[in-house]
Structure 1
């Protein structure tokens, strides 16, 4: 059944409402706590922590210093300076720009939350165009209510969904080469906000070259176009800062490389390698960072290898499935698996025909993990340091989430893409042959 306008409007209203709920929760952390309550107790009791408020205070965003241009990474231990935040350039510029409209942590959070609500609506409409009623999975599940204003992750999510939309549901009047170019550009822009969409660019380029719907010169041409627009977007977003102040540009990567793997990272490396990982300043941190980097790289290469094998064997490359699988590898193997990363996964829950039980299992685990994390912090703040139901829930959530991500690497590669609603298809009711979305599942 085609998705009607009232249902689309309802989706958008729900997505915006959930985002506003998250904003209201995070605003609790912008006011002083009662005199007889510690800050840790207050923040964890209400679960109102957000990176938005934290960075406003820690990076002096109210000074409105343009990022990276005056950036430094100095001191002992080294700290970021000169208006730079610990994210790629487009996120840093976006943070600076939106901070211009704010005069306090609360107003900055409101600006960020309003933008997040608008992005949630745009992403919902795009997903509804791609997959119809399954867009409710994005609009009406807990992640928006928990994380919409937690960080700026909806920016790369919007870029990811834009790429998926162009390749699966662009108007027929768009020439095929334009769609490959725009999709590559969207993933490149996403990579300039947060690095992970660059994995999707790799899968897209493989599909452009391996899909046997064109002769070899045509496939080579479109793969170069997709790669060129994606890499071009990254270069445009980075090279000017590298030229003006290489130290400021590099400081982001130095900060992330030197970030210790602690309890707040919710990483399997920290919780799986206790008690050695508890020493945040010891040499074992370097070992964990190396393990995280190597396992992430190898996992991504394995997924790309499977993708190539399927593309060579069938002539149709499952690049969307491959993108989702690589994302799971990144989340489970990387040194940080922040709670809001579930927003990265949601679009793939929508556009791939993943069973409802899988989706429910992951989302319930995510809610349990977040609840346990904040409640465990609350108990620690009031001096209750023994084994509590909150610490047990948090630990179980970390390991169940990790297990689900590992399983999803295989499941995603075997899951077909959702077909667009009948009313949203082309007049002939058929897709263009040059769009690689209906690759057969892996065997």
Structure 2
């Protein structure tokens, strides 16, 4: 429809809208538009009609909101991730004619569909209906001996497996479409993990602020295709992401509870407490806050039990007032996380102490995993390791100490970076550095651990091509891993093919760390901080004063006066 003349007006024709304008012309112009400013997204957007228009009203679509689009993308990739594991839940007639899993001739490796959840159903005695940590069994060891075993996972992950088992057995006993019980169990576990990853996407999108579309890389990560259902790590990513979101919304108690629950599922959410404390330490700890005495009863005002009861009733108010200052908020979060972790673990530790200790025992006696940097060195050099050749059950004492010391040194370096940067860093980059340091220095880097890094990397360094390259490299490590596990006797790959790709993966993560450190020392290059944004995930430290910290020694002070945000 061509332009129409606004009849009777001097000055010629004037173009008008071919349809009535909307009654509300407000537009969320502050939202990032990747189809306009990112070449990769602009090319991909041609599939759905091309980049958004220059004069489009942003945020006015009624149904296909960014979050719903992200959920749709995440569901597509989660469905593909389930399909990638489906080969390992196919059934075949067994020797007795009854159906059994088709894992013949290393099918789980050739089809690259291996998932820990399938063999763990029998290995952890869940198929017997046993309660984790209470049930014990005896296993043969490689050296010809035996050992007593229990559930090897942290408490929340173990209880999640138990819940999945109960649902699978209930389904199997009901007049419903049937399958092998382990197949039902895998699907039940997969549904829960999919929900957990959707929560991760949601929380990350909320943390991204005006750059909500960055979360599309979390929803569409190649690592989701490979590892969403490899183990139970999506539970931890959900708790970690929601814990960070609670901190961003200045709810330190809830943040601590969620991070504590994450720590009860996997360890890494507890590592996020360190960056929170460091950022609060960098923010002026001596800033004035509202008086804590107004309206609060002190014990010396009234003697006796009623005063104690009143004081106890005022604990929520006291916590709220403590949370008004950065270090107080950090203390509340740390206390909430540790208290929650203890509340989840203590009942199991008291009732089944041996079963509860199994996770810690195995991690102490566990040798360097095939994908750790220590085994990579051994693979190419023949180095016997710090402890020499060990038999089954012998703890690698020196390796445990070395990996711990290297991680502590890395954390000290990250703390130094956070304190000396010209402007207080954002929370997400520091969290990524800490978790990456843990994985790089640890003696274990199970393949699904890479999921831990995905939300943090997207929030820390939203450069789509770089992130997509790293995620693709990390996901492709799965291929030589599976064929290495297949064995040379079945036409698998030599170990060096696998460990060589591990080196590439580690170098990619180190490169991401280098880019993030560069961004911290050059905050003007941080895409998130454009348009007068400080730290969408910073919570109480977002837009807070960023002083020179004269109470710190000179080497630990910021190198230049921080720029104030609008």
- Judged with a 3 Å threshold, the aligned counterparts in structure 2 of structure 1 residues 437 and 325 are, in CA distance, closer, same or farther, namely farther
Q: Distance in 2 between matches of 1:386 and 1:23?
A: 26
Match of 2:444 in 1: 336
Query: Shift of the alpha carbon at 1:138?
Result: 0.6
Query: Shift of the alpha carbon at 1:281?
Result: 10
Match of 1:139 in 2: 219
- Judged with a 3 Å threshold, the aligned counterparts in structure 2 of structure 1 residues 408 and 248 are, in CA distance, closer, same or farther, namely same
Is the deviation greater in 184-193 or in 46-55? 184-193
- Judged with a 3 Å threshold, the aligned counterparts in structure 2 of structure 1 residues 54 and 277 are, in CA distance, closer, same or farther, namely farther
Match of 1:243, SS state, is helix
Q: Distance in 2 between matches of 1:431 and 1:48?
A: 36
Match of 1:173 in 2: none
Gaps of 5+ in 1: 171-175
- Judged with a 3 Å threshold, the aligned counterparts in structure 2 of structure 1 residues 392 and 364 are, in CA distance, closer, same or farther, namely farther
After superposition, residues 82-97 of structure 1 pair within 5 angstroms as 84=151, 86-97=152-163
Match of 1:129 in 2: 206
- Judged with a 3 Å threshold, the aligned counterparts in structure 2 of structure 1 residues 301 and 225 are, in CA distance, closer, same or farther, namely farther
After superposition, residues 195-214 of structure 1 pair within 5 angstroms as 195-212=267-284
Is the deviation greater in 119-128 or in 404-413? 404-413
After superposition, residues 7-406 of structure 1 pair within 5 angstroms as 7-32=66-91, 39-70=104-135, 76-81=145-150, 84=151, 86-103=152-169, 104-131=181-208, 132-168=212-248, 170=249, 176=250, 179-212=251-284, 215=287, 218-262=325-369, 265-274=370-379, 275-276=382-383, 282-283=389-390, 290-291=398-399, 293-307=401-415, 310-311=418-419, 316=424, 318-378=426-486, 380=488, 382=490, 384=491, 393-406=497-510
Q: Distance in 1 between matches of 2:367 and 2:202?
A: 39
Aligned residues: CA RMSD: 3.7
Query: Shift of the alpha carbon at 1:260?
Result: 3.1
Query: Shift of the alpha carbon at 1:188?
Result: 1.5
Match of 2:296 in 1: none
Query: Shift of the alpha carbon at 1:395?
Result: 3.0
Is the deviation greater in 15-24 or in 32-41? 32-41
Query: Shift of the alpha carbon at 1:200?
Result: 0.7
Q: Distance in 2 between matches of 1:72 and 1:99?
A: 18
Encode CA deviations 1:48-98: one digit per residue, 9 max, x unaligned: 1111001102111122322224557888442423xx2x2111111111112
More helix by share: 1
Q: Distance in 1 between matches of 2:539 and 2:72?
A: 35
Q: Distance in 2 between matches of 1:53 and 1:256?
A: 22
- Judged with a 3 Å threshold, the aligned counterparts in structure 2 of structure 1 residues 126 and 312 are, in CA distance, closer, same or farther, namely same
Match of 1:78, SS state, is strand
Match of 2:551 in 1: none
Q: Distance in 2 between matches of 1:58 and 1:284?
A: 22
Encode CA deviations 1:144-185: one digit per residue, 9 max, x unaligned: 1111111110011001111222233x3xxxxx4xx2222222
Query: Shift of the alpha carbon at 1:413?
Result: 3.6
Structure exhibiting the larger radius of gyration computed from Cα positions: 2
Is the deviation greater in 5-14 or in 55-64? 5-14
Match of 1:161, SS state, is helix
- Judged with a 3 Å threshold, the aligned counterparts in structure 2 of structure 1 residues 433 and 186 are, in CA distance, closer, same or farther, namely closer
Encode CA deviations 1:88-144: one digit per residue, 9 max, x unaligned: 111111111121111311001100111122222222122222220011111112111
Q: Distance in 2 between matches of 1:411 and 1:431?
A: 20
Encode CA deviations 1:217-268: one digit per residue, 9 max, x unaligned: 8344223211110111111011112222221211111122222335xx4222
Is the deviation greater in 343-352 or in 214-223? 214-223
Encode CA deviations 1:289-325: one digit per residue, 9 max, x unaligned: 6335523443344334542563377683544322211
Match of 1:283, SS state, is coil
TM-score by length of 2: 0.66
Alpha carbons 2:81, 2:226 under 8 Å: kept: yes
Match of 2:541 in 1: 435
Match of 2:149, SS state, is strand
- Judged with a 3 Å threshold, the aligned counterparts in structure 2 of structure 1 residues 11 and 222 are, in CA distance, closer, same or farther, namely closer
Gaps of 5+ in 2: 1-28, 32-58, 96-101, 170-180, 290-324, 521-525, 548-557, 561-566
Alpha carbons 1:129, 1:420 under 8 Å: kept: no
